[in-house]
């Protein structure tokens, strides 16, 4: 048998939760194991580095005198019950949350971007995003009459989306100056979960949009890793209603595609091993997508807002492809577009336009009647999309099934 003892942020946090001197407990763990002496010394250096990163992140502080339970170190932030720092850069992510404005309409998605920047790259997904972005950039430059050589030069600057990259790199440089052991780790700003949410797409639509048919497993694993990091890293005081909605939506999206990934880490969080065959009692899983009402409400909001974004782009063809089966083909959407833009010059499809206040839901037996209100320039809120959500069909499909009934005034 070969020892595989390892040191992690979660281990040290668990030691801090126990009564007594955590340094003595850590010393005993690091020296009384079956690793070689050289490996023990290496693990000790790693533990010291993790401890310093926790101090730098403001997560723990040393006490001048032991407390009533004999602890010489205490946590400085309130952590949820399942809190864990699973990534090497998670302490940086936690510290970076303080840079965000909780009142900003993009706060929830900015938190997602901070967490995504600390995860490993899903390279196939990022390559597909870059290919898509470059294709769109070439089309736009050709339309503007940019010559070939200049197009090729400008194309070198086009890459996959990296929200908040400048702010995060600046913050990381400052943070790393006090934690030089983080030099071995790379901060990688990217947008997969955020991109999927902003585009109001479900898993299948995202796969089709970026032609990721051969990389479905990679995307699914990344989404699960992001969900786990959001659930276990973001402290309670950093949560907000819209952020909680996104986390619930992401979890239900993954569960509807493949619940085994969530079951795997929930089993580990409950104290078992995914490969041990240990039967642990976990929280009951939702029977259907509609039984998790909070997550399903976000799915409905996304489906409706996807139509708002296409409406703002005046993309009658894409709208017809979505709703042609229910009688709303491209021609019918064109009539609605002409009607709206005859009254208004523009329509807002930014973060505020997708807020819960602009989505009215009436629950009736077997379905939801919904109205997605348009955010027009004058705030009249007289135009919108009316639709019916079939709950049984949604349970069968694993996502919200929308049937548009009318577009216009109530």
User: Within this chain, do residues 334 and 385 fall inside the same structural domain, yes or no?
Assistant: yes
User: Within this chain, do residues 108 and 231 fall inside the same structural domain, yes or no?
Assistant: yes
Given a cut of 90, is residue 81 above it in pLDDT? Answer: no
Given a cut of 60, is residue 270 above it in pLDDT? Answer: no
The verdict on residue 290 lying in a domain is no
User: Within this chain, do residues 139 and 171 fall inside the same structural domain, yes or no?
Assistant: yes
Q: What percent of the chain has pLDDT over 70?
A: 88
The last residue of one of the domains, among 256, 285, 314, is 285
Q: How far apart are CA 99 and CA 171, in angstroms?
A: 9
Given a cut of 80, is residue 261 above it in pLDDT? Answer: no
The verdict on residue 4 lying in a domain is no
Are 292 and 254 in contact by the 8 Å Cβ rule? The answer is: no
Range of the domain at 391: 301-408
Question: Which one, of 161, 400, 131, lies nearest residue 289 by Cα?
Answer: 400
Write phi, then psi, for 353 (nearest 5 degrees): -75, -15
**What does pTM read for this prediction?**
0.75
Angle subtended at Cα 173 by Cα 170 and Cα 177, rounded to the nearest 5 degrees: 150
The verdict on residue 294 lying in a domain is no
> pLDDT-based confidence at 282, cuts 50/70/90?
very low
User: Within this chain, do residues 113 and 261 fall inside the same structural domain, yes or no?
Assistant: yes
Which residue(s) pair with 2 in the sheet? none
The structural domain count of the chain equals 3
Per DSSP, helices labelled H in 159-315 are 165-177, 193-198, 203-209, 216-233, 241-257, 260-269, 293-312
Q: Is 365 left (phi over 0), alpha (psi -120 to 50) or beta?
A: beta
Eight-state DSSP code of residue 371: E
User: Within this chain, do residues 129 and 240 fall inside the same structural domain, yes or no?
Assistant: yes
């Amino acid at each position: 048998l070969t020892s595989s003892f390892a040191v992690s942020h979660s281990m040290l946090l668990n030691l801090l939760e126990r009564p007594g001197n955590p340094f003595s407990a850590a010393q005993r763990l690091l020296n009384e194991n079956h690793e070689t002496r050289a490996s023990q010394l290496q693990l000790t250096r790693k533990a010291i580095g993790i401890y310093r990163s926790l101090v730098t992140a403001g997560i723990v502080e040393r006490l001048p005198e032991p407390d009533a339970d004999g602890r010489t170190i205490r946590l400085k932030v309130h952590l949820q019950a399942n809190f864990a720092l699973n990534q090497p850069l998670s302490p940086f992510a936690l510290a970076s949350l303080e840079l965000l404005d909780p009142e900003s309409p993009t706060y929830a998605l900015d938190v997602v971007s901070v967490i995504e920047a600390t995860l490993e790259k899903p390279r196939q997904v990022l390559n597909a995003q870059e290919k898509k972005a470059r294709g769109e950039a070439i089309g736009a430059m050709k339309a503007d009459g940019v010559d070939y050589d200049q197009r090729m030069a400008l194309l070198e600057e086009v890459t996959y989306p990296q929200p908040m990259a400048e702010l995060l790199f600046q913050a990381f440089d400052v943070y790393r100056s006090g934690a030089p052991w983080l030099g071995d780790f790379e901060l990688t700003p990217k947008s997969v979960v955020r991109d999927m949410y902003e585009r109001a797409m479900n898993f299948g639509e995202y796969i089709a949009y970026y032609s990721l048919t051969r990389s479905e497993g990679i995307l699914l694993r990344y989404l699960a890793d992001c969900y786990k990091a959001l659930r276990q890293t973001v402290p309670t005081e950093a949560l907000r209603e819209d952020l909680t909605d996104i986390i619930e939506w992401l979890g239900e999206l993954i569960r509807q595609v493949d619940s085994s990934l969530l079951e795997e880490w929930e089993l580990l969080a409950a104290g078992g091993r995914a490969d041990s065959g240990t039967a642990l009692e976990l929280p009951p899983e939702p029977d259907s997508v509609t039984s998790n009402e909070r997550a399903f409400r976000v799915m409905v909001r996304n489906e409706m807002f996807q139509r708002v974004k296409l409406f703002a782009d005046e993309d009658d063809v894409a709208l017809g492809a979505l709703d042609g089966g229910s009688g709303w083909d491209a021609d019918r959407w064109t009539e609605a577009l002409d009607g709206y833009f005859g009254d208004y010059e523009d329509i807002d499809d930014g973060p505020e336009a997708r807020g819960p206040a602009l989505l009215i839901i009436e629950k009736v037996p077997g379905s939801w009647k919904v109205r997605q209100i348009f955010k027009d320039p004058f705030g009249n809120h007289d135009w919108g999309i009316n639709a019916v959500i079939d709950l049984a069909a949604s349970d069968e499909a694993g996502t919200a099934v929308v049937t548009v009934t009318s577009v216009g005034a109530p």
